[in-house]
């Protein structure tokens, strides 16, 4: 598994990085001066200005240590750019996210303290960080120190943006915003679809009494929709196509159990139920519960609409301790469906138009992949002749940090 999260608006963010004037690997004294001020401010021997690109991280300036371009798996700053807030780790070896990190674990340079602020362009995109590092733990910096560090970060951005901007085709940014709106629209439609289907069945069964399982589905989908609307308003930014996580410690077994209570009509009108898979366990993890519930429900809805009659949902851990949440059904995929297309950015539809009603794939999968990657995880579909399984895999530290 990767060791870092991927911003929801990664494609647009990378275009913004390429358009930053002055953002070249040629160094300038002003950036060395800012880094030198940073290490003095934090009492650290090392400071740098990082630039996070698609698969690597490089440095506009480094003082106190020799650092070359490195893969994002070796980067702390890929976590720093996930929000506008500073990231402070007094002892990296005690943080579940980083204790196995190659820069921290035995055999590496032995990094311990990290304090950094994201570098935010005037357009709102975050492209890197200004941070201090040490090989020994520190107490957390004061609020005043971090406020000064944030101001130094603004100085970095101002120095980079002083040159005329590089040209970026406006159509690309407009496309990114339209895609963001389309994906968020799908996010809202998932609970609405469950709600609408349940109401339709209730209407058809009105003369035979109330089906409590369907009324529960209506109530839960309504609550989920209300929560999602509030989350999107608070934690998204349509101007940059960004969606941020609202994380808390969550019992994943409860989310799985809630999905297992759904009873919905499939594409052929047949009412389908969802059961909890054998071997499913209960796990506490730090996630965005609304977003994870959305992905589980979206996968379940895909299975109901396009899969077989035997639908199961579960959660557990793999051999490496990573969290796995899965939805499976006893349908098989049409031979024309290309699973590789699923992993391309912003795939909506495309070759999936070739799926048949036996398959377990639907249009919610690109959004599911984006949300899982936002959590630092991976998404996979396993297709066997007699069963299709969609797996959400989240890093092990999300369980460890919730203990």
Q: How does pLDDT run across 148-168, given as a tens digit for each residue?
A: 999 999 999 999 988 655 544
Is residue 179's pLDDT more than 70? no
**Do the beta carbons of residue 2 and residue 167 sit within 8 Å?**
no
What rounded mean pLDDT belongs to the chain? 81
Domain ranges for the chain, please list them.
20-160, 171-400
Beta strands in 72-153 (DSSP E): 87-89, 113-120, 126-134
Instruction: Please tell me the distance from the alpha carbon of residue 10 to that of residue 189, in angstroms, as a whole number.
Output: 23
What is the β-pairing status of strands 311-317 and 271-276?
parallel
Class for the domain spanning 171-400: alpha beta
Q: What's the average model confidence in pLDDT over 245-269?
A: 86
**Do the beta carbons of residue 57 and residue 50 sit within 8 Å?**
yes
Q: What pLDDT, on the 0 to 100 scale, is given for residue 73? A: 84
Phi, psi of 284 (to 5 degrees): -95, 130
CA 170 to chain centre: 26
Instruction: Please report which helix (H) or strand (E) contains residue 345, including its range.
Output: none
Instruction: Please tell me the distance from the alpha carbon of residue 295 to that of residue 367, in angstroms, as a whole number.
Output: 8
SS (H, E, C) 358-374: CCCCCCCHHHHHHHHHH
The pTM (predicted TM-score) of the whole model is: 0.77
Q: What pLDDT, on the 0 to 100 scale, is given for residue 182? A: 57
| Domain 20-160: assigned CATH number | 3.30.450.40
CA 365 to chain centre: 14
Q: What pLDDT, on the 0 to 100 scale, is given for residue 233? A: 58
């Amino acid at each position: 598994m990767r060791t870092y999260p991927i911003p929801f608006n990664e494609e647009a963010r990378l275009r913004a990085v390429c358009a930053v004037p002055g953002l070249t690997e040629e160094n300038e004294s002003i950036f060395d001066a800012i880094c030198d001020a940073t290490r003095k401010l934090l009492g650290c021997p090392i400071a740098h200005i990082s630039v996070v690109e698609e698969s690597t991280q490089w440095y506009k300036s480094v003082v106190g240590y020799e650092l070359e371009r490195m893969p994002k798996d070796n980067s702390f700053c890929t976590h720093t750019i996930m929000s506008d807030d500073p990231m402070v780790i007094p002892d990296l070896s005690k943080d579940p996210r980083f204790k196995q990190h190659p820069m921290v674990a035995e055999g590496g340079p032995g990094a311990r303290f990290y304090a950094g602020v994201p570098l935010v362009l005037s357009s709102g995109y975050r492209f890197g960080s200004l941070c201090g590092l040490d090989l020994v733990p520190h107490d957390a910096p004061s609020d005043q120190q971090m406020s000064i560090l944030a101001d130094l970060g603004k100085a970095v951005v101002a120095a980079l943006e002083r040159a005329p901007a590089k040209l970026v085709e406006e159509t690309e940014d407009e496309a990114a915003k339209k895609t963001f709106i389309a994906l968020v629209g799908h996010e809202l439609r998932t609970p609405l679809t469950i709600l609408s289907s349940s109401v339709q069945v209730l209407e058809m069964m009105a003369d035979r009494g109330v089906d409590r399982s369907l009324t529960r589905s209506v109530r839960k989908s309504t609550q989920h929709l209300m929560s999602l609307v509030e989350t999107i308003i608070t934690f998204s930014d349509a101007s940059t196509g960004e969606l941020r996580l609202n994380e808390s410690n969550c019992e994943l077994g409860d989310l799985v159990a809630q999905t297992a209570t759904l009873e919905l009509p499939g594409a052929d009108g047949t009412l389908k139920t969802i059961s909890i898979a054998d071997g499913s366990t209960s796990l506490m993890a730090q996630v965005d519960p609304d977003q994870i519930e959305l992905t589980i429900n979206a996968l379940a809805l895909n299975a109901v609409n396009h899969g077989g009659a035997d639908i199961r949902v579960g959660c557990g851990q793999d051999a490496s301790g990573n969290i796995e949440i899965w939805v499976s059904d006893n349908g098989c995929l049409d031979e024309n469906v290309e699973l590789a297309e699923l992993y391309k950015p912003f795939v909506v539809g495309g070759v999936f138009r070739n799926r048949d009603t036996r398959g377990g794939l639907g249009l919610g999968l690109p959004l599911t992949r984006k949300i899982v990657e936002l959590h630092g995880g991976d998404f996979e579909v396993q297709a066997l002749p007699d069963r299709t399984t969609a797996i959400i895999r989240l890093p092990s530290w999300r369980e460890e940090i919730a203990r």
